[in-house]
Structure 1
């Protein structure tokens, strides 16, 4: 007879997500989740075949949380919104964000695929990118993503100068985005001459 399921699948995912928020994605184990739930491992195995399946569900939850954070950003500047959302996620989910970005894993690719539609929709709405080809827009996005990821890591790990407040960080994001787009536009105009 199968063990009685004391916890919903969502409760188990939430527990694993809480573990990842504090200690990173690779800290999730079936035993640790069971311990945090005050349970044996049986209810977890009723819902998940293995820890990898549970970690993938945690990534899906992270995608949902990231989409929620991004959805609340509406400055009119899509790249700024993406950067601010990344910084907010790095602050709120410091260990998970750092572990996710800095440690080799297969989850980042899955996360990027899960966020792709939302990000592309945001980028395509940016009026400052009119006249650029899709390839040029993606190159601009990659440059901004590299900067924003580095800045988010620095924010998440308290590596920025203490006197640099939230407003200055947002100004830095906005200014860098403007500089990248301006440089791309100048390069495009110079190549067309």
Structure 2
């Protein structure tokens, strides 16, 4: 009779996600996971034939959590919602934000996915219809830098106890001012 499994796949994944959040993807090794589960590597390999599969699942979970924040409708303005979403993600998922965006550049595919989402969302806003692609790209980069910088300040506790209204106010005053200046330059 085969030995009964000590852990479920879900328990292993949950522990792996904790390790990933705390220490990054490079910490996902059979030895580290086994140590954190207080077991041998055998249970891990009984559910994951390779750690690369587990790592892909972890990244997909991180993307899913991130995208929930980014797609949340806080206001009637799609573009503003994206900025609010990344700031809320930084506030509520500080460690995951830090691991993905601040630790190293190995998560560039997630950053590209965020970038691509913004471009798709921008195309849904009729105010951007008449703008050429080069200008939209520059505008996106400016807004991305502002939102990413602000969210980094939130994640690193520069701003403490940040409310939703504070996030929205800062994004509107900072990014909107920048956007209007860019649009004025464009329309000259």
TM range (shorter): 0.7 to 0.9
Pairwise CA distance, 1:33 = 2.4
* RMSD, matched Cα: 2.8
State yes or no: 1:167 paired with 2:169. Answer: no
**1:122 and 1:68 mapped to 2: Cα distance?**
14
TM-score normalised by L of structure 2: 0.81
Which of 77-86 and 44-53 deviates more? 44-53
Return the structure number with greater relative CO, CA threshold 8 A, min gap 6: 1
Unmatched segments (≥5 aa) in structure 2 = none
1:70 touches 1:82 (CA, 8 Å); kept in 2? yes
State yes or no: 1:123 paired with 2:151. Answer: no
Matched residue count: 187
- 1:129-144 equivalences in 2 (<5 Å): 129-144=128-143
- 1:1-193 equivalences in 2 (<5 Å): 7=7, 9-107=9-107, 109-115=108-114, 118-160=117-159, 165-190=163-188
Cα gap change, 1:165 to 1:67, in 2 (>3 Å) = closer
1:86 touches 1:152 (CA, 8 Å); kept in 2? yes
Pairwise CA distance, 1:6 = 5.2
1:23 touches 1:96 (CA, 8 Å); kept in 2? no
**1:133 and 1:87 mapped to 2: Cα distance?**
28
**1:81 and 1:62 mapped to 2: Cα distance?**
19
Cα gap change, 1:188 to 1:78, in 2 (>3 Å) = same
Pairwise CA distance, 1:41 = 1.0
**1:12 and 1:137 mapped to 2: Cα distance?**
43
Cα gap change, 1:123 to 1:7, in 2 (>3 Å) = farther
Unmatched segments (≥5 aa) in structure 1 = none
TM-score normalised by L of structure 1: 0.80
**1:92 and 1:149 mapped to 2: Cα distance?**
15
**1:121 and 1:10 mapped to 2: Cα distance?**
33
